Chain A
């Protein structure tokens, strides 16, 4: 994996963590407006980074932000356990 992709991936992991941590919190605190606003911002950041990663580095989901690559790109990029982080 290219170092530029590793960098976006690392940032994406960090923001996805923020998003997921807030998701669990909001499940039991649905009326916490500050947490809700933080969640909206984290989601926005996650989607921006996913868009960036998928444009330059490959698909994260089979139907993501970038048009799927032909020949079939989904099986070409390394799997999560094969990546040197």
Chain B
């Protein structure tokens, strides 16, 4: 089970409202390599992992991704706080408003809804951990692109934190992959 903690993993601060940036950040909320995809991918893959290290790591990184999802939501919430409808419309969230009003939704910046086909579960631990490593690099890349799209120093600080976490997760998944490969080799008898 999971227990909710009423705190963010890292502070989320913004200098000013920014509708365009809120829209771009949706890629890390409901986009292909966003935090929702990450959490669901890892927490689902752990059931078919053969080693203790891989099961532990997928559980703990999957849980951390839920905290990142909450940070992205907090960024979007703060960037859109008290923004009048005319500004939302002018800055590109008119279509979102027509469908969702001011609600957050698991979709990418183009409005494409999140789908389970963004994630994989092949049951082969080498395939799955390799996919996870690629996903971390794609998320790292997305954060670098997002950093180029804003000049807000406070927002950049929170985005940089998330970018760094992708790098650490990539490293740990690589270690779990080595462990799994060692385990699979030890089981081969000819």
Contact = CB atoms under 8 A, between A and B. Distances in A.
A27 B11 contact: no
Interface in B34-70: 52-53, 56-57, 60-61, 64, 70
Interface of A is mostly: helix
B78 A27 contact: no
Contacts of A60: 5-7
A83 B7 CA distance: 9
A80 B6 contact: yes
Interface in A10-49: 10, 12-13, 16-17, 20-21, 23-25, 27-30
A20 B64 contact: yes
Interface residues of A, number: 28
B60 A27 contact: yes
Nearest to B57: A27
A25 B53 CA distance: 10
Given A17-B10, A27-B56, A81-B70, 7 more contacts: A10-B11, A13-B10, A24-B64, A28-B172, A77-B6, A80-B8, A85-B13
A56 to B, nearest CB: 14
